[in-house]
Amino acid sequence: MKVFARFASLLALCGTALAATYSLANLNGSYAVQFSQPRYAQWSKTFSCPTNSSITYTAVGSTTTTTFTHGVVSFDGNGNATATVTNASDFDSAASANTLKVTWNSACQIVSVNPGGIVYKAPSTQSVSGKYTIQSTGLGTVSFGAAGTLNLQLTATASNGISTTALLSSPVVNGKSVGTGIAVRQ
């Protein structure tokens, strides 16, 4: 992790040294985007003993997984962005809960609990519009309202001044950025 932090710092320094100043115009055109972040998923279901429904047990299953989103984001060079992205990792809580199993004996005591497994929804695609900002350092944000906000770091600029690559990260939570991604100009 320290190596990645050093590499990101080096990229930020190189980007700042190569371009005296950045603006909205440096982020212009269509960019292929990939983004992922860790996620804790938990599901539960209450079971009743088959011979005495007043005796119940709530079984719980959980796992840590990774969300994955990919698509295209278009920046207009003036602070407006549109995106069409596919989320290929939406957790289905109800379907996951249906994988739980509880085995009872005749005295309504639990013999075994199977925590089941995670079930994902079918990939879904959405189109959203938003705004982006770029500071003179190449740092910025892109916000799609309810769909979320990401931090940007422009890292490579073509001879025409348009950035060819931007690093993406989720906003800092408890001092850490937990989601990362990349946008590459098409």
Closest to 63 (Cα-Cα) out of 137, 115, 130? 115
How many structural domains comprise the chain?
Answer: 1
Closest to 38 (Cα-Cα) out of 4, 65, 61? 65
Q: 112: buried, middle or exposed (CB in 10 Å: 19+, 13-18, 0-12)?
A: exposed
Report helix, strand or coil for 51.
Answer: coil
pLDDT in tens, the chain (186 residues): 454 444 444 444 444 445 458 999 999 999 999 999 988 999 999 999 999 999 999 999 999 999 999 999 999 999 999 999 999 888 999 999 999 999 999 999 999 999 999 999 999 999 999 999 999 999 999 999 888 899 999 988 888 889 999 999 988 777 776 899 999 999
Prediction pTM value:
0.76
Closest to 136 (Cα-Cα) out of 58, 9, 11, 24? 24
Query: By the 8 A CB rule, do 47 and 56 touch?
Result: yes
